[in-house]
Chains A and B, each alone.
Chain A
Amino acid sequence: MNQIKLIYRNEMRLLYRNPFLALPFVLIFISWGYVILSYEMESVHYEDTAAVFYNNFQWITMVNLLLVGLYAVYMAGKDRESEFESLVATYKVNNTEWIMGKWLVAQTYGLGFTVMTLLIQGIWLLGGRMGMEEWLNHLLYVFVQIEGAFFVLVSVGFLLGVWIKNTLSYIGMTALLGIVFLLQANSYGFAYVNPRLNLFTPYDSMYIATPYESIWGIGGVFEGAMLHQAAVLMAGAVVILATILLFRPHRRLRREKRSLVTLAIALMVPAVILGGIRYTHYNSALEQFIDMGKQYKLTEEAYSKNRVAGAERPNYAFSMDRTQLDVQLSADNRIKVASELSITYNGDAPVNDVSLTLQRQLKVTDCSSDAKITCSREDDFIRIHVQDGLKRGERLDLKLNYEGDMKQYRADGLLQQAFVEPDRIYLPKESGWYPLIGERYLAISSYGRVDERYVGFEVNSGGLVEDHPTVFAVTIKGNEDGLPMALTIPRGDDGSYKGTSQYGLSLIGGNLEEIAVDRTRIVGHPEVLDGARQTAEIYRNYWGYLEEWLEVPVAPDVIYVLDHEHSELTQFTPSQSFTAWSFYDIKYVEPSVMVYALANDLIPDNASFGEDVEVLQRAITWGLMKHAQLETGYKHFGQWYASLGWSSEVPAEAVKRIDRMNRYDELGEEEFLQAVKYVFTQYEGLEDKAAFNLAAALARYEGERSP
């Protein structure tokens, strides 16, 4: 031990005296300085500090790993190349002391990067809006991730440096890190090779793009990372022991060999156990995801229809008028719900059967009503047979109790789509955590089709658009720690949630706060709310304009600001009353882009709706462009439409309609706006949007205008 200390001290002295080895620190410091200054100089932040930190941590860590890995190879081989090692080999020092002394120096070099990163992170995140416990968790997470990676990489660097006695060892290290990079690139939720291989990275990369998830922080990956890095640490120790065994074996002492082999085996056992546990965790997530892909496999026809018309209203004969939920959350992703539902039949002919949709993982414990009913279950569907039948306008009051595990995954099991944990909650509507009216696809999977991905399919959330609004009353228990929560309906003074929503319910809990811009609630991480407010203010102008122009509600009731991955998953259920924004949505607000997005919110892109709907959508866009006083270079609608790239593919019939719309524009802006408003109202009134006929609508408009 004493000799290791002496070797360490002397080799450290050499390290201090090599000015070139300080350059990487300067490089990394400058990189972080640039990142921090760029962020801090923003007048309004659109992304929370931790999100910016982790986005950059990803690539800076890769650079750090390369630098430390190459240094480890250098450290292992430098004395052999200079032949000093041949001299040392004649000294009394044993292999373990010599290798360990130098290995500790390489570890210290790596630790320098870790400490620098932690100092930067710790100081920077102190300015962020998070509790002390979360702050400490961030520090611990980064420490374990980066230090674990350094630990194993330095050991591997020594193995390469001892094993391969030329520059190939440096190439080997670079190639190894290249593979790590590819594995991480593979872990973006659409892996082309077995995503289980992602577990073989020197840091836990089991997330999509970034481990940080805005209001949920790093809670989703924290435990997994600890386990992964514990296994990595053990593996690193085994590798360095193997390296010592490989180093000048004829010089190795018998007792040294015995101790090294014993220790290696002793460490291999926990490494395998910890690695096995980590593997099992991920494997069960992946298996669940694969099962989900099979369960939500649609026929070719249903899949195509759903992909094209996912946002269309379902036109059910039933409406869910009232939903009362008493929700009990428990920390292990389980929920227990007692619900009372009021369902009204709106069809013409009397019926006996009504269906509900509830995630299949939730077990129904009670399904009862004052009416005579029988309930049956098939996958996500609950089928209720009403013995006396239901006539038009009749109401069925139903009591439905259920409970179960809500944990769900997307994207190769790397993204948690639903979870209930002490410090984070996410129960989106698409997870099917409360009963929806009708038989609905909670998800649609392309399973069985030709797909290059490893799992062979993709899963998207179902387009869960409702025909009618529902009056909700929700009480939530089991959150005694007081984790901030929000629901897509407002919270009352008594702590329960009450409100009417045509979108439905999505529950979130985490580091969140709520603000209001007019009647729109905005819920998100405290650090991004100023940015979100500013964006909402910009949108408010357009929402107000559209509401005044087209006389339809446009401003959403509630906006959740989520991380990019989760906000994207909500977009399969477009709704006026609920919107999820990501960092990109609030930062990059360009009127020239907004006008298209707003028009798309009113009339979603859907080729099956036909050209007339598209012309109407473009007409709204043009109206918005005029309002925004965007410089298009075109005086009238027709010219602008013709300038769009795809106008050459417009059929001749559609060109006539474009010309007709253009004529109103030529008559004046007010004429154009009135005509568009009229035809839009016609479009809105249609149940089947594909039946929209612009020429007929304009003819009616003309007819109503003529005295």
Chain B
Amino acid sequence: MSTVRIDGLNKMYRSVPALTNIELDMGTGVFGLLGPNGAGKTTLMKILSTLLPYEEGRVTIYDLDLAKEGDQVRGLLGYLPQHFHVPMQFTGREFLHYAGSMKGLTNHKARSGQVERLLEEVNLLPQADKKIKSYSGGMIRRLGIAQALLGEPRFIMLDEPTAGLDPSERIRFRNVIEKLGDNHTVILSTHIISDIETSCGQVAVLNKGSLLYQGTTQGLAQKAADGVWEFQVPYADYDKVAKEFAFISSRREMNHAIFRVIAKEPPHIHAAAVQPTIEDGYMAVINGVLS
């Protein structure tokens, strides 16, 4: 069932188009948003989080018209911006109480219950009464995730949520997200493909303000089907080959360099077709090599 629907969304920054005719349909679950820098991801997130007005199109979130019922949309919303800044003089607990009150949790008891639960979920309980200025970058990020989940939002948007988290924190976060995905609509905008792979069922790819792909993560990987190749050359030839091919990745094995390349045809006589990953699919869509 569709919870977020975007029809013909256009957004201009003065005369520069930031989003062009975006059509998106999302349901409950975790939805990945991929795209290079400047693709329009943050603009789309800002529009969906009611921060930015838009010129054309219609956006409905849980049947609420974003343009007309922004205040009600905000009641459903949990948002973690890419750059998360909070007043550093608060303690983590105080900040969550403050954020909770602004999210409409005016009842202290109800708010406290949520704050304590979220502090535990993001593993900040031991540091809850310390000033935020003493927190590490990862702790601040976790605090950001906690504030996004305050008020039990139904529509959650997380912009680069795992940036700065260590591996164990990232795993803990994925578990939280996974649980949320059961009955929430979660948009995850990230550069970290592994987060998409592990958490998202659906994904959209944006580039230069246009939507290039919407579908399952497997579908995105399949965009590069029969077009991902790996070949091995002596390591001494690395520079020569690197100049010749637009490769996705390379690795060294003993005295050889192994290149991973997206191409319609085998790029090298020793090239072997390999199973595409989401990253391959993403690169194929962005670069348009296979189209």
A contacts, CB < 8 Å to B: 2-3, 6-7, 10, 13-14, 17-18, 79, 82-84, 86-94, 98, 250-251, 253
Contacts and interface: CB of A to CB of B under 8 A. Distances in A.
Contacts of A13: 89-90, 94
A259 to B, nearest CB: 14
A450 to B, nearest CB: 55
Contacts of A87: 79, 81, 84-86, 99, 147
Interface in B204-259: none
A10 B84 contact: no
B71 A92 contact: yes
B103 A93 contact: yes
Interface stretch (B9-17, B24-32, B48-56): B48-56
Contact of B85 (A3, A82, A89, A98): A82
Contacts of A91: 74, 99, 102-104
Contacts of B106: 2-3, 6
A91 B70 CA distance: 10
Interface string B33-56: 000000000000000011111000
Given A18-B89, A83-B83, A92-B151, 5 more contacts: A13-B89, A82-B85, A88-B102, A89-B50, A251-B71
Interface in B65-119: 70-71, 74-75, 77, 79, 81, 83-87, 89-90, 94, 97-99, 101-104, 106
Nearest to A82: B85
11 contacts: A3-B101, A6-B102, A7-B102, A13-B89, A87-B79, A87-B147, A88-B102, A90-B51, A93-B104, A94-B71, A98-B102
Contact of A84 (B50, B70, B87): B87
Nearest to B48: A90
Contacts of A83: 81, 83, 85
In the A-B complex, list the 9 residue pairs whose CB atoms are closest, starting with the nearest.
A6-B101, A250-B53, A93-B102, A92-B104, A17-B89, A91-B102, A10-B98, A90-B79, A90-B49
Contacts of A88: 102
Contact of B101 (A10, A79, A89): A10
Nearest to A78: B87
A86 B99 CA distance: 13
Contacts of A7: 98, 101-102
B104 A89 contact: no
A253 B50 CA distance: 12
Interface of B: 49-53, 70-71, 74-75, 77, 79, 81, 83-87, 89-90, 94, 97-99, 101-104, 106, 147, 151
Contacts of A3: 101-102, 104, 106
Contacts of B97: 10
Contacts of B71: 92, 94, 251, 253
Contacts of B147: 87
Residue among A7, A92, A250, A253 with max Cβ neighbours from chain B (10 Å): A92
Q: Which one of A7, A14, A91 has the greatest number of beta carbons of chain B within 10 Å?
A: A91
Contacts of A253: 71
Nearest to B74: A92
A674 B151 CA distance: 102
A6 B98 contact: yes
A92 B75 contact: yes
A150 to B, nearest CB: 24
A14 B87 contact: yes
B69 to A, nearest CB: 10
A641 B14 CA distance: 81
A221 B101 CA distance: 46
Nearest to A93: B102
Given A13-B90, A90-B74, A84 B85 contact: yes
A250 B70 contact: yes
A92 B103 contact: yes
Contacts of A250: 52-53, 70
A136 to B, nearest CB: 39
B50 A92 contact: no
A79 B99 CA distance: 13
Contacts of B52: 250
Nearest to A101: B102
Contacts of A86: 51, 81
B55 to A, nearest CB: 12
A90 B151 CA distance: 12
A79 B77 CA distance: 20
- Which residue, of B52, B71, B86, has the highest number of chain A Cβ atoms within 10 A? B71
A83 B82 CA distance: 11
Contacts of B83: 83
A18 B77 CA distance: 31
A707 to B, nearest CB: 100
Nearest to B45: A90
Output the residue of B51, B52, B94, B104 with the most chain A CB within 10 A.
B51
Nearest to A18: B89
A10 B111 CA distance: 15
B110 to A, nearest CB: 13
Nearest to A248: B51
Nearest to A10: B98
A90 B77 contact: yes
B58 to A, nearest CB: 16
A253 B147 CA distance: 24
Q: Which of A3, A6, A87, A93 has the largest count of B CB atoms less than 10 A from its CB?
A: A87
Contacts of A79: 87
Contact of B102 (A17, A82, A92, A251): A92
A430 B287 CA distance: 95
Most buried by A among B74, B84, B87, B94: B87
A2 B102 CA distance: 10
A577 to B, nearest CB: 70
A696 B18 CA distance: 103
A84 B95 CA distance: 11
A82 B79 contact: no
Nearest to B111: A6
A7 B277 CA distance: 48
Contacts of A98: 102
B51 A89 contact: yes
Given A6-B106, A86-B51, A14 B101 contact: no
Contacts of B75: 92
Given A87-B81, A90-B49, A14 B104 contact: no
Nearest to A255: B71
Contacts of B79: 87, 90
A6 B99 CA distance: 10
